[in-house]
Amino acid sequence: RSTGGACSIASPHGPIITVSMELVRAATDMFWSTKIWLPPNITWEDIRPGVRPDVNHADYRHLIYPIPLAAVILMLRSVVERFWIAPIGKAIGIKSSGPKSPKPTKTLEAAYNVNSRLNHKTTVRLTKQLDMTERQIEYWWRRRRAQDKPTTLVKFCETSWRCIYYTYSFIFGCIVMWDKPWLWDIKQCWYGYPHQSVTNDIWWYYMISMAFYWSLTASQFYDVKRKDFWQMFAHHMITILLMALSWVCNLHRVGSLVLLVHDCADIFLESAKLTKYAQYQKVCDTIFAVFTVVWIVTRLILYPRVIYSSSVEAPQILPMFPAYYIFNTLLILLLVLHICWTYLIVQIAVKAIKSGQMEGDVRSSSSDEISDSSENSRTTALTNGGTPKKQATLGTTATSKNGTTARVSASPKKK
């Protein structure tokens, strides 16, 4: 129909769009309900930044900053590893190349490209196609898989970067937290909540820490794969959720305590791995012993003390609300991960005491590796006919289900 010479056409999708927008708005209002996120009788307006001249409340919009900052950290890491850490690693004798390549064989290479995991069925089939024994095929397969493994220098660079960050973060955290009353009395985390100011140093401590965990989450997918890949992924995501939740709810005081407790032990873990890559075994054993003690003290004594305060002391000081229970549940999930890792650490410590040196890595590589030392000392090779000239000992690293590693030997059987 036309009225006054103008044509008006009603869109049939108009009501649907309107209803959809109303549903989204209702869902958003429900999600950000003050009944969920804030204590009783507190509104978002009460903790809006700038609403009180005497309190600098946390601004939820600042949670976007760690994401671009994580990209900066990844670029900085690339520069530091390439121009500083890698040259140092080469200077102290860490190998930048892997084991020698096996003899090129099109049939074996094609089978390897289909599935890098060798099973008995594939082995039997290949022995029928080639003039090789099962042991020779297994030997070739180990050598070929070793080519896909990261070199010791790559692992040294990745570990060095984490060690540098954790050292910086712990020192910076100590400087930031030293004059904070809640460091010495955890109950101060709850007094006056939620009207607690975010100081500039706490703001930077939070933003940089969250950015680093975002960078770790991203780099996990192209760094050296570890047996505990998904445990670490869960750890990073829980940590980011904890930090974001504590920031939105203005629980930054207890959040800063959790950050400080977490960074300390990681310094010694990464240092122990560095000295092992550099083949300073005695130094590695000493640092690992220190790491075990620091880990137990920080993760199983100090950290549970924080959880005790949030679970027992906090309800006595302030009224509870749903977001608090979510926050506390995430804290407990982190403790469960700590207990699982402690089990692995104690296993390695016991093996180290029995063998006289640390034989494994708490976070071992995702698959077997041929050791550099055994490859250097190897004196046998496959002949043109595919028969070993003499018996060879293959030094490999067997990886158990729990993620620890141990040196084993495998020798070709004499025909």
pLDDT, tens only, 54-89: 899 999 999 999 999 999 999 999 999 999 999 999
Residue 51: how many CB atoms within 10 A of its CB? Answer: 12
The token pair that represents 164 in the structure block? 């540098």
pLDDT at 14: 64
Please tell me the distance from the alpha carbon of residue 86 to that of residue 176, in angstroms, as a whole number.
31
pLDDT at 387: 40
* 212-222 pLDDT per residue, tens: 999 999 998 88
Which residue range is the domain that position 279 belongs to? Answer: 60-91+155-355
pLDDT at 232: 84
Buried b (16+ CB within 10 A) or exposed e, 365-388: beebbbbbebbeeeeeebeeeeeb
Residue 342 domain-assigned?
A: yes
Most confident of 59-73, 136-150, 221-235, 400-414: 59-73
Residue 394 domain-assigned?
A: no
Residue 186 has pLDDT above 50, yes or no: yes
Residue 29 domain-assigned?
A: no
Residue 272 domain-assigned?
A: yes
For the chain, how many structural domains are there in total? Answer: 1
Give every CB contact of residue 378 below 8 A, 6+ residues apart in sequence. Answer: 392
pTM of the model: 0.74
pLDDT at 317: 94
Higher pLDDT, 56 or 355: 56
Residue 139 domain-assigned?
A: no
Residue 133 domain-assigned?
A: no
Please tell me the distance from the alpha carbon of residue 71 to that of residue 78, in angstroms, as a whole number.
11
Residue 181 domain-assigned?
A: yes
Residue 176 has pLDDT above 80, yes or no: yes
Residue 371 domain-assigned?
A: no
Which of the residue ranges 38-47, 315-324, 347-356, 369-378 would you say has the lowest mean pLDDT? 369-378
Residue 99 has pLDDT above 80, yes or no: no
Higher pLDDT, 242 or 205: 205
Cis amide leading into 194 (omega within 30): yes
